[in-house]
Amino acid sequence: MRAHTPSLAVGDGSQRRVDALDVARDREDERVQDADEPVARYDAAGHEVGVAPRGVVYRDGLWHAATGVLVRSGDGERVYLHRRAPEKLIFPGCYDCWAGGVLGPGESPDAAAARELDEELGVRGVPLRPIDRFAYDDGHVRYHVFLYEVRWDGPLRHQPEEVVWGGWVTVDELRAVLADPAYPFTPDGRMGIERWLATR
């Protein structure tokens, strides 16, 4: 169950170099835009207190809030595992099983969870079930976590800027991934899924 490595389509050598440069520029532009995105600032108690650019929030370790949605198959036997894009501002290239992201100014956790699930995996129109809430603080990244679960057997569509690989795994396979150092897992995602696994 190793992750697939994306590759560029190639023609002759000169076109390949041009395409690679275009992709690199596009990804750098996306990263800059991502860093400038306005994010809702929170205090340590979980109250929204202002707005700051995403890059500043991460750089200065400011409290904010984010959602994560665990996508399970309709029968509940499988979980969707994915790998983050290498251009992500935090935890680039790591594996995760939560689709989600930061809350924008004035945005509710429910609305942010639905928006991120649609953007990252193309899943929409399904009920979101809240399953956990906790504060994550590793000394550098600090945020209030709102976790949800959905059941889904339909098609999935990756947002290329967010996800470079994804696949269904059983719960036992997910436990194996978490235990295998060959699979770098997001530390916040690990905390969330280990809390979820502890209830099973």
pLDDT at 12: 41
pLDDT at 6: 30
pLDDT at 200: 85
The Cα–Cα gap between 191 and 98 comes to: 11
The Cα–Cα gap between 54 and 175 comes to: 31
- Residue spans of the domains in the chain: they are 13-197
Three-state DSSP class for residue 133:
strand
Q: Return the structure tokens found at 109.
A: 């956790």
pTM for the full predicted model: 0.83
Q: Give the residues of the chain that fall short of pLDDT 50.
A: 1-32
Q: Which CATH architecture has domain 13-197?
A: Alpha-Beta Complex (3.90)
Phi-psi map region of 144: left, alpha, beta (phi>0 left; psi -120 to 50 alpha): beta
pLDDT at 3: 40
Cβ atoms of residues 70 and 196 within 8 Å: yes
CA-based Rg of the chain, rounded to a whole angstrom?
17
Distance of CA 35 to the CA centre of its chain: 15
In the DSSP assignment, the letter for residue 29 is: H
Paired sense of beta strands 142-151 and 64-72, if any: parallel
Measuring CA to CA, which residue among 199, 196, 180 is closest to residue 71? 196
pLDDT at 5: 33
Q: Give the alpha-carbon dihedral of 57, 146, 195, 96, to 10 degrees.
A: -60
Measuring CA to CA, which residue among 169, 171, 190, 172 is closest to residue 181? 190
Q: For residue 173, give the amino acid letter.
A: E
